[in-house]
Structure 1
Amino acid sequence: MVPIKPTIARIWRGRTLPENADAYEIYNYEAGIKPLIDKALGVQTFREDTPTYSEFMTISYWESVEAMAAFTGGDPKSIHHLDRDKEFLIELPAGVQVLSIRSSHGTLRPQEGGKSGDA
């Protein structure tokens, strides 16, 4: 079976206060990322910590805009906020970025447990 190549990347960003970052990372993974893993071709999560905020970014990869729209329930740029996002996020994101993948190089290898270890 030939693997399906993603043609679309959907990028979501959100920021928390540093003292809420660890709790939000756990909550976001359980409530937001796990369901996404079952639908998207691939998912990556990122976190940047600064003295005043922690930013989270999720990139999901899709076969097509239509496949992504089926997941979002219509508009591929619409956001389904998680139940506790208002509690954790500094501000609720108004939208996501949807990009066409023009080239891709290298192979990503998933790590055990869905989270990366210390480098």
Structure 2
Amino acid sequence: MPTKPTIARIWRGRTRPDVADTYEAYIRAEGIPPLQKVALGVQLFREDREEETWFTTISYWPTIEAMTAFTKGAPTKVHHLDRDAELLIELPERIEIHRILVNDQNLR
């Protein structure tokens, strides 16, 4: 199995600004740890806008097969967290899966 990621799995969801901090804490506690156990890497982003706050999670995988095994055979199916319906403005309907073409991580 390659040790470098070849696949990125991207999830996006949005909250009202008044629950953004609550959702951030929730996704950090409930959504990120399962990914950290099996993915090669995971990133969580937050974009605060005037009317809404967007969260983006990107997980990195060595192969499509490894990602598919984690998602129990449904890589594009959204697996909602228990409180997503309560905290998100709407439940996301899709996951994006991208092949990684350039992976230059020499950030300074």
Relative to the length of structure 2, the TM-score reads 0.94
Q: 1:2-21, aligned counterparts within 5 Å?
A: 4-21=3-20
> Is 1:57–2:62 an aligned residue pair?
no
Unaligned runs of 5+ in 2: none
Q: Distance in 1 between matches of 2:63 and 2:93?
A: 22
Larger relative contact order (CA 8 Å, sep ≥ 6): 2
Q: Structure 1 counterpart of 2:9, which letter?
A: R
Residue 85 of structure 1 is matched in structure 2 by 84
> Is 1:96–2:104 an aligned residue pair?
no
Q: Distance in 1 between matches of 2:106 and 2:73?
A: 31
Relative to the length of structure 1, the TM-score reads 0.86
Q: How many residue pairs get matched?
A: 107
Contact preservation (8 Å) 1:72, 1:79: no
Residue 38 of structure 1 is matched in structure 2 by 37
Unaligned runs of 5+ in 1: 110-119
Q: Distance in 1 between matches of 2:4 and 2:106?
A: 12
Q: 1:59 to 1:108 in 2, by over 3 A?
A: farther
Root-mean-square deviation (CA, aligned residues, Å) is 1.4
Q: Distance in 2 between matches of 1:32 and 1:106?
A: 24
